[in-house]
Amino acid sequence: MRFLFLFRKEWREIFRQKEMVALLFIAPLIQTIILGYVVRTDVTNLPVGIINLSQSIESQRLINRLASSPLFKIKFIASKPVDAEEIFRQGKSKALIIFREREKRASEEFSFSLPEVQVLLDGSDANSAMIAAGYFYGLFGHYITTLLHREDKDVPFQPKTIIRFNPSLNSLHTMGPAIVALLLTIITILLTGIGLVREKEQQTLDTLLVSKLTPIEIFLGKTLPMAAVGLIEMTLGIMVVITIFDVTPRGNLAYLYLAAVAFLFSILSIGFLISLISQSQQQALFFCWFTMLLFLMLSGLLTPLENIPPALRWLTVINPLRYLIAIIREIFLKGNGLAYFWQDILIMAGLGLVAFLFSLRVFRRFVIK
Amino acid sequence: MTAPILEIRNLSKAFGPIQALNNVSLIIPRASLTIIAGPDGSGKSTLLKCLLGLVRADAGQIYLKGQLTDKNFEQIRSISAYMSERFSLYPDLTVEENLDFYACIQMVPKDRKDDLKHRLLERTGLESFRFRLAANLSGGLKQKLALATALLSSPEILFLDEPTPGIDPTSRLEFFRLLEELKKEGRTIILTTPYLDEAEKGDEIVFFHRGKIIKQGSLSDLKNQFPLLVFSFEPETNIFEAYTELSKLVGPENLILRGRQLKIFVPEGEELIWRGKLLRLKREEPRLEDIYFYFERRSEMMELGHDQ
């Protein structure tokens, strides 16, 4: 238990710096709140331009539907043709909906006459364009179905979609908890990454090395305080998700802490390794940012893992953040228990063990030159 | 006969193309102050780190009290303390917290810790600064605190790596007074320094240059055994011209330019005729820096001759 001396020293050093305390505990909370609202995959307030060449009642009704939806923000309504490409170039709107009068009535069977509808989308933001296309399709489809039902007509084919776990498809519910995992990564890898290299710069590392502490004790003494800080941060983050984002976890949060411990084992070992091979804090920060960005890109937080090309997908297997994000979503949204993700926890622990053994090897081989 | 506390035989270490230590052999007697003097990058710190196992030597042996250590540095570490160039202190901890931490990692028994801590605070004059952050201490006080942390384990050998840069003269004197006391208590001190005036305080002075020992001995031995007479000469002509011409005459290893003066090393009985005149030279007692520069130049000349 000799590592506790080092643990206590680290803890004192962290809390003695007021700026550090603010940076560690207040900044992440603000970041969680901001990121939770900003990093969303659903589209709201999409700027839409309408060119209503039809001037029919139905076109006006459809415009009213669009205007009342929080998904779209109607920027202008024109009654004459406009240069669509120029509007997109100027960024005035991301979608243009053109209503034209039908030359011929579609069928005598119906009492209503729908205008021709053309949707033009700005593909420079492919993600938003794809999601918006789905929204438009859904809105028009729903409108037609309503009209047909009113006339006692059956829709020949209509798939019924039931969405489980997040019926409103609110991205805050998927992104919010996952951002807690991201913050846990950022804080712990940065703190550990600069921890040992600061000792090198202060030239206190040599004194630690000639002391009676073993490399394992130095590892534990340097990383466990960061793990404790990480777990406190995670708790604060979860509180933000529950109280501010209004996302109630369906599963047992104790499992999340279990997963976090396995995750921290791997991430702290990687941070320690970064600290061992870096010669200055500046270098360590660069390594940490590079590692974090790689972890983030390959985590499934921003893009689905299935979107990653197969040649690179194997990298996600050795990314511990991928597993934590999956587990956090399973606990918060699906209410899953250990039976569903014990393998993920084991993989994280395994990755941690490999990184830990490797960093110990590096410690023994490279710290003593 | 008692074996010396440390004996180094043919120690070598290279970092890539740089030969940091080149076949270094040295005997450190018990209860002595050995000062290793030399310019930055001459290999002084590497030598200390090799002795503590912080750097692995490529070749050579280290004997502790007559026993070969053979890559197991636990024995040396268990009876030594090391003070690195920048004092090895935690700036965000107070004086007392630094002492507490070092006492803990050096496994000082709990019942002895407080007593030892108080005695060291008193001895180093840090008692009134015990609650001050190490970052807010002056250079001299930081140095004393670092020494106090090193003394917590009551070491037999103290390795002090350049403990005085940036320290005011009064604090330096006070520091060496403390070292003298420690030596009298029977501790062996090995100190490195780039300052030759400090080296004079050592019982044994070891001159280091490019990873090699170029000369060693006590101050009196070094002075008495200096093979040449030292003269100072103030030329009336341009000093640089005089230096160039005289260096051809006596050899560059025997000439030092210092301010408006030239120091010339001449064998006893030899007269010096320059520009057709017998030079009127003022004889001086050799100073440590004269001795260092003479042997440094000689070593460089020999290396040059060897290379060619």
- pLDDT tens digits, residue range A244-261? 999 999 999 999 999 999
Residue B53: list chain A partners with CB under 8 A: 210, 368
pLDDT tens readout for residues B58-74: 999 999 999 898 777 88
Asked if residues A275 and A226 have their Cβ atoms less than 8 Å apart, the reply is no
State the DSSP H helix or E strand holding residue B98, giving kind and residue range, or none if neither. helix B95-105
Same domain for A11 and A73? no
Average pLDDT over residues B134-158: 91
A282 in a domain, yes or no? yes
* pLDDT given for residue B101 in this prediction: 94
Would you say residue A103 has pLDDT above 70?
no
Q: How far is B185 from chain A (nearest CA, A)?
A: 23
pLDDT at A219 over 90: yes
Q: How far is A196 from chain B (nearest CA, A)?
A: 13
Residue in B closest to A8 by C-alpha: B101
Residue B166 CB partners (closer than 8 Å, separation 6+): B139
Calpha distance B147→A209 (Å, rounded): 17
Claim to verify: residue A34 and residue A134 sit in the same structural domain: no
The region of weakest confidence among A12-16, A295-299, B277-281 is B277-281
Q: Of the candidates A150, A182, A213, which is a domain's last residue?
A: A150
**Residues from chain A contacting residue B109 (CB–CB below 8 Å):** none
Identify whether A158 is part of a domain.
Answer: no
- Residue B307's pLDDT band, with cuts at 50, 70 and 90, is very low
Q: Say whether both A346 and A231 belong to one domain.
A: yes
Inform me whether the pLDDT recorded for B55 exceeds 70.
Answer: yes
Q: Kindly state whether B85 is in contact with chain A, defined as any CB-CB distance less than 8 angstroms.
A: yes
Amino acid at site B84: S
| Chain B interface includes A161 (CB < 8 A) | no
The tally of domains found in chain A comes to 2
Q: Model confidence over B165-208: pLDDT tens digits? A: 878 888 888 889 999 999 999 999 999 999 998 999 999 999 99
Q: Are residues A25 and A50 in the same domain?
A: no
Per the CB < 8 Å rule, is B88 touching A207? yes
Q: How far is it, in rounded angstroms, from Cα B272 to Cα B59?
A: 46
Q: Do A198 and A343 fall into the same domain?
A: yes
The DSSP 8-state label assigned to residue A365 in this structure reads I
Tokens matching residue B96: 């007392």
Query: Mapping DSSP to helix (H, G, I), strand (E, B) and coil, where does residue B143 land?
Result: helix
Do residues A301 and A282 share a domain?
yes
Interface test with A, best of B73, B104, B132 (most A CBs within 10 A): B104
- Looking at the structure, tell me whether residues A196 and A243 fall in a common domain: yes
DSSP conformation class of B133: B
Considering the domain architecture, whether residues A67 and A215 belong to the same structural domain is answered as: no
User: Using the beta-carbon criterion (under 8 Å), do A206 and B107 form an inter-chain contact?
Assistant: no
Choose, out of A211, A214, A364, A367, the residue to mutate when testing the contact with B (most B CBs < 10 Å): A211
Say if residues B270 and B218 touch (Cβ distance below 8 Å).
no
Residues A252 and A107 in one domain: no
Q: Of A150, A180, A203, at which residue does a domain stop? A: A150
A155 in a domain, yes or no? Answer: no
Please name the residues between 28 and 57 in chain A that touch chain B, using a CB distance below 8 Å.
none
Identify all chain B residues contacting A210, using CB atoms and an 8 Å cutoff. 52-54, 77, 80, 82
Structural domain span for residue A104: 46-150
Going by pLDDT thresholds of 50, 70 and 90, the confidence category of residue A106 is: low
Cα–Cα distances (Å) from A295 to A153, A208, A317, B126, B136, in that order, read 53, 32, 11, 49, 40
Residue-wise pLDDT for A160-187, tens only, equals 778 888 887 788 888 889 999 999 999 9
pLDDT value, residue B235: 78
Query: What is the pLDDT confidence band of residue B300, given thresholds at 50, 70 and 90?
Result: confident
* Contact: B92, A5; criterion CB under 8 Å: no
pLDDT tens-digit profile of A108-150? 666 667 778 899 999 888 878 888 888 888 888 888 888 888 8
pLDDT computed for residue B306 by the predictor: 53
A125-133 long-range contacts (CB < 8 A, ≥24 apart) are A125/A94, A127/A41, A128/A43, A128/A46, A128/A94, A129/A94, A129/A95, A131/A41, A131/A42, A131/A43, A132/A43, A132/A46, A132/A71, A132/A94, A132/A95
Do A221 and A80 share a domain, yes or no? no
- Which pLDDT belongs to residue B10? 95
SS3 B54: coil
**Residue A334 belongs to a domain:** yes
pLDDT of residue A211: 86
The CATH number of domain B1-79+156-220, selected from 3.30.43.10, 3.40.50.150, 3.40.50.300, 3.30.460.10: 3.40.50.300
Domain membership of residue A357 (yes or no) is yes
Domain ranges within chain B, ordered by starting residue: 1-79+156-220, 91-153, 223-307
Q: Is residue A164 part of a domain?
A: no
Beta strands in A275-357 (DSSP E): none
| Average pLDDT value over all residues in chain A | 88
Interface predicted TM-score of the whole assembly (ipTM), two decimals: 0.78
CA angle A155, A159, A165 (to 5 degrees): 140
CATH of the domain at A50: 3.40.1710.10
A209 and A228 co-located in one domain: yes
Contact B158, B182 (CB under 8 A): yes
Q: For residue A206, list chain B residues with Cβ-Cβ distance below 8 A.
A: 49, 52, 54, 82, 84, 88
Give how far B137 is from chain A: nearest CA, Å: 15
On whether residue A261 sits in a domain, the answer given is yes
Spatial neighbors of A193 by CB under 8 A, at least 6 apart, are A271, A274, A275, A278, A284, A285, A287, A288
pLDDT tens, residue by residue, A258-292: 999 999 999 999 999 999 999 999 999 999 999 99
pLDDT, tens digit, 9 for 90 and up, residues B211-264: 999 999 999 999 988 888 888 878 777 888 888 888 888 888 788 888 888 888
Angle between the A253-277 and A215-243 helix axes, to the nearest 10 degrees?
130
Please tell me whether residues A233 and A296 are part of one structural domain: yes
